[in-house]
Amino acid sequence: MRSRYAAYEALDSDWLLASWHASTRPATLELDASTKWLGLEVRDHRSIDDTHAEVEFVARYRVGGGRAVRLHERSRFVREQGRWYYVDGDIR
């Protein structure tokens, strides 16, 4: 989760796509350079079994000179061949 946040912060779409599960990964990903990430708070982590986990987080960001926005999500991850992949999430 933290590496994906850092990738958004660094505009590293290659890492975001590589860490996204093939079943839900978009073909391309365009990141907005005017987005400034302000912080990440991991609120909860839950292992469902050896290959599935959920992470609840709040990320804060600002686009351009606009107001800060709060993204609160519970994300689902799956482990394949020793690597964790982002599958999807529910916005809260």
Q: Which amino acid belongs to residue 75?
A: S
Q: How far apart (Å, rounded) are the C-alpha atoms in residues 16 and 27?
A: 12
Cβ–Cβ under 8 Å, residues 37 and 59 = yes
Q: How far apart (Å, rounded) are the C-alpha atoms in residues 30 and 76?
A: 22
Cβ–Cβ under 8 Å, residues 61 and 71 = yes
Burial of 55 (0-12, 13-18, 19+ CB in 10 A): buried
Structure-block tokens of residue 2: 């933290």
Question: pLDDT grade, residue 1 (50/70/90)?
Answer: confident
List of domains in the chain: 2-91 (3.10.450.50)
For the stretch 18-64, pLDDT in tens is 999 999 999 999 999 999 999 999 999 999 999 999 999 999 999 99
User: What is the structure's pLDDT at 34?
Assistant: 98
Residue 89: is its pLDDT beyond 90? yes
